[in-house]
Each structure stands twice: as structure tokens, then as C-alpha cells.
Structure 1
Amino acid sequence: MTQRVDLATVMDRLAIDEVITGYAVAMDDADWPGFRALFTPDGRADYTAAGGIEGPAAEIADWLAGTLRPFTVRQHLIVNRRLRIQDLGGYPGDRAELRADYLSPLRHESGEDLMSGGGFTFGLLRGEEGWQLRTVTVQEKWRRASVPAGLG
């Protein structure tokens, strides 16, 4: 590979990392317009394996807004990112897939703590707006709730 291709790949990796981090931050900050902007116009997400819904990004944003509203503390950590950018004969293409693990501690307004973990698969496309999410699939692997003292 040439230095130019290597640099383009590094720039793509940084841009994709920004999208994935933006996804987590948008959920934590309840920035639903920002969440929607991360997706392509036909972008979709599937939360059914975590007890949620599947549908267009706008519908998912509305569902997440309602589901997360009672949680006064939200933290979505997306870690162990494994990225594959489409290879067009040694040159980066306009498609990518990122698989990552997540850990999500939440605090409900009642004082109950909820913690879950699992994996994400993000399908990304590069367009005029840069890299955006086309698909998001969540696979919850575990969940634990703790009841505050005196309520159990």
C-alpha cells in the first residue's frame, strides 16, 4: 500500500470511531436529533435481542427517548471495537462493519441500578455527509438489576 492509501484508511478509522462514539454520547445525553443525524436516510436499528424494537432510525430514537427517560444516569461504553473497511483491491471502499462489545450501567429515578452488556454490529456507509450508520444490531448477553436498600 502507498502512504496515501494508508493515510486514507487511518482517516476513515478515525471518522468511523467518531460516529460510534457519537452514538453512545447521543444516548447518554438524550440528544435525539444528534442520534438521528448519525444514520443514513434509510438507516435502521434492531434492539429486539435486548427486549426492544426494530425499525427506522427515527422510530428507534423515539423509542429510546421514552425507554431511557426514567434513567437519571446513563452511560453507554462501546469497547473492543473490531473494524473492517471494504477492500477494493488495496483501496478502502465506502462500506464498513464494526463489531463491538458494550457495557451499559444505568440508574433509574427510583434508585435502582441496571447493568447490561452485550454486543453491537454497526453497518456503515460513506456518503456525501461522510460515514453514517446504515444498520445497528444489538445483542444483549446479560442484564443485572439491583434494588436500593430498604426497597427490596
Structure 2
Amino acid sequence: MTQRAEHSTVMDRLALDDLITGYAIAVDDGDWPGYLALFTPDGRADYRSAGGIEGGTEEIATWLADMLRQFAIRQHLIVNRRITLARRDGAPGDTATVQADYLNPMRLAGPATDAEDGPTSPNYTCAGRYEFTARRTADGWRLTGVVVHEKWRQVRSGGD
């Protein structure tokens, strides 16, 4: 690999890492215009393994906004990112996949949580693996797909 190709690969990996971080922040902050901006116009997502839906990003953003209202606090931790860039003639191509594990501690909304001094510790945690697909566009790397593979969840009830 030439030095130019190595530099390009590093820059692509950093851009893809930033894209995945942007995904986590947009979902946690409920930034649905920001969420949509991370995807190509034909982007799709599949949350069925976590009890959700599969569809185009507009439909998914609407569903996420509604569903995530149940949680007063949410934090996606996306770790162990394995980025694979497609290769073309020995140089980085224009598509990529990212496999990453997630841990998602959240707090279910309710009267105790909504009060100013209510509990803030998580009482709902889920974890699994994301499969992201991405494509290089004129505006930089954008997601073409997200598939969630939930592996486990834990719901605590009662006295926190």
C-alpha cells in the first residue's frame, strides 16, 4: 500500500468512527434532523431484534422519537468498532461496514424520574451488536443501513 493510500485509509476510518459517534449522540439527544443527516436518502434501519421496526430512515426516525419518549435518560456506548473498507485496485473504495458492540443504559420515564430530585440511575439496560453499512458521498461518509442485533436486556423495578 502506498503512503497516499495509507493516509486515505486512516482518514476514512476516522470519518467512519465520527459517523458512528454521531449516530449515538443523535439518538441519545433525540436530534432527529441530525439522525436523518447521517444517512443517504435511500438509507434503511432494522431494529426488529430489539422489538422495533424495519424501514426507511424517515419512518425509523419518527418511530424512534415516539418510542424513546419512554426513557428520561439514555446513553448509547458504542465500542469494539471493526471498520472494514472496501478495496478497489489496492486503494480504499467508496463503501464500508462497521461492526460494533453497544451497551445502552437508560432510565424509564416516570413520576420519580420527572421530579427535579428523582432517581437518575439506569433501570433499563440493553446490549448487542450493530451492523452499519456506509457509502462515501459528495458530503462525506453517510450510513446506508443500520441493523441492530440485541443480545440481552435487563429491566430493574422497584426501589432504586
For Structure 1 versus Structure 2, the TM-score category normalised by the shorter chain is over 0.9
Q: CA deviation at 1:89?
A: 2.4
- Partner-residue secondary structure (3-state), 2:13: helix
Percent identity between the two aligned chains: 55
User: d(CA) in 1 for partners of 2:90 and 2:153?
Assistant: 41
Whether 1:126 aligns to 2:126 is no
Matches within 5 A, 1:3-152: 3-110=3-110, 111=113, 113-149=123-159
Shift of 1:107: 0.2
Q: Which residue of 1 aligns with 2:118?
A: none
Name segments (4+ residues, structure 1) moved above 6 Å: none
Q: TM-score when scaled to structure 1?
A: 0.95
Distance 1:105 1:3 in 2: 41
Tell me the distance in 1 between the aligned counterparts of 2:68 and 2:83.
28
Equivalent pairs counted in the alignment come to 150
Q: Give me the whole-angstrom Cα distance separating, in 2, the residues matched to 1:62 and 1:21.
A: 20
Deviations 1:7-55 (A, max 9, x none): 0000000110111000000011110000000000000000011100000
Q: Over the residues paired in the alignment, what is the CA RMSD in angstroms?
A: 1.2
Q: Write the letter of the residue equivalent to 1:138.
A: V
Deviations 1:40-93 (A, max 9, x none): 000000001110000001111111111111211110011000010001121000
Partner Cα separation in structure 2 for residue 83 and residue 148 of structure 1: 40
Where in structure 2 are there 5+ consecutive unaligned residues?
A: 114-121
How far residue 96 of structure 1 moved from its aligned partner, in angstroms, is: 0.2
Q: For 2:59 and 2:139, how far apart are their aligned partners in 1?
A: 21
2:131 and 2:48 map into 1 onto residues whose CA distance is 13
- Match of 2:22, SS state, is helix
1:13 corresponds to which letter in structure 2? R
Q: CA deviation at 1:113?
A: 1.1
